Amino acid sequence: GLAPMDGDRVEIDGGIMEGGGQILRVSTALSCLLGLPLRVRRIRAGRSQPGLRPQHLSGLEIVRDLCEGNLEGGEIGSTEITFTPGKIKGGTHIADTKTAGSVCLLMQVAMPCVLFAASPSELHFKGGTNAEMAPQIDYTIMVFKPIVEKFNFTFNCDIKKRGYYPQGGGEVVVQMSPVKELSPIDLTERGTVTKIYGRAFVAGALPIKLAKDMSAAAVRCIRKEIRDLYINIQTVREPDDQAFGTGSGIIIVAETSTGCLLAGSSLGRRGKNSDKVGIEAAEILLKNLKHGGAVDDSLQDQLIIFMALAKGVSRVKSGPVTLHTQTAIHFAEQLTKAKFTVTKSEEEDPSKDSYIIECQGMGLINSNL
């Protein structure tokens, strides 16, 4: 059902289900897109540090700036905000977490908004590019971008500088033109794996040997399951002028005969063995390949808002539906007229555990264009 209203304001409970920053991202983006005044209470209520963290506040502020809206309660630690959106305009905007807060999560909240702006946009996101608890920028570029562009839009994403925990200091520039409407997607045929490739990196004070160890351990792990494919993992040391601080990590992508992209990634940190980092990424990739879905577990929830906005029926085959995805669906249905259904996929192969997420999108038309 639709969300409860307080006068003209939609009321959102930020403490239910997954209960994190994602509720804020989905609900403020949709509030901005639909021109719905919003109140979110109990923000991140169950977290160890409840309320807004710097990255959530930056996300709210960029949406506010994009639509010349009004934000109340926008300070660190705040557990309640009200947001009144205006008209979405394009142009140049900067969102800076001033921490290692994830630029990829900032992108998630801003991108749907600028698709329905009046003119092209250039968004500068500053913070962590390869941070824990968020997609890495390499995932955003290698997996999220080519798949989300199937909704019939394109964007340009340029990594100016990489930034790592704890200081951040990275910068990514996204350029995007608005669209009239989004097309629905059908991602239901997984196909067979045709290529496996990736990138293992070190930056700052770390020796390249760490990247080589991560890569070698990942390859050994994948080899046990997939013997007949060449696995091409680049090992790189980020140039000093293109990275701020010290970090390491790996992403591995599998591409299929039907153009699906599924990944596994992991970050290094002090005291964590580099073999372990590589194996962790490899195991996530293998798990994503095993369930038989056409998208991996990280992409699921990122597609929901686009499915809700698109004109027509979208269908995505996934592995078990994550709590993040269930949460995104819940709030997308509360705020839009989109309708989602999740059904167990009938598989010939009993080892597969896949589902079809279907959405009758609301078909938002860009009235600013």
Residues at the annotated binding site?
Answer: 108
88 phi and psi angles, rounded to 5 deg: -75, 120
Catalytically annotated residue among 56, 93, 291, 324:
324
What is the distance between the alpha carbons of residues 28 and 36, in angstroms, rounded to a whole number?
9
Whether residue 124 lies in the annotated active site = no
Q: What are the structure tokens assigned to 311, written together? A: 């004109």
Q: What are the structure tokens assigned to 144, written together? A: 């999220």
Distances (CA, A) of 144 to 101, 248, 261, 267: 19, 21, 9, 18
Mind giving me the DSSP string for 124-160?
A: EEEEBSB-TTS--HHHIIIIIHHHHGGGT--EEEEEE
Helix ranges, 168-297 (H): 208-225, 274-290
Residue with structure tokens 């801003």? 110
CB 178 within 8 A of CB 90: yes
Binding site membership for ATP: which residues?
Answer: 108
What is the distance between the alpha carbons of residues 348 and 320, in angstroms, rounded to a whole number?
17
Could you tell me how many helices (H) and strands (E) the chain has, helices first? 9, 18
CB 254 within 8 A of CB 284: no
Q: What are the structure tokens assigned to 19, written together? A: 């209960």
- Is 22 in a helix, a strand, or coil? helix
Q: What are the structure tokens assigned to 67, written together? A: 């639509």
What order do you get walking across the sheet with 186-187 strand by strand?
A: 186-187, 313-318, 355-360, 339-344
What is the distance between the alpha carbons of residues 108 and 340, in angstroms, rounded to a whole number?
20
CB 33 within 8 A of CB 178: no
Q: What are the structure tokens assigned to 129, written together? A: 């590019």
Peptide linkage before 146 cis (omega within 30 of 0): no
Catalytic residues: 324
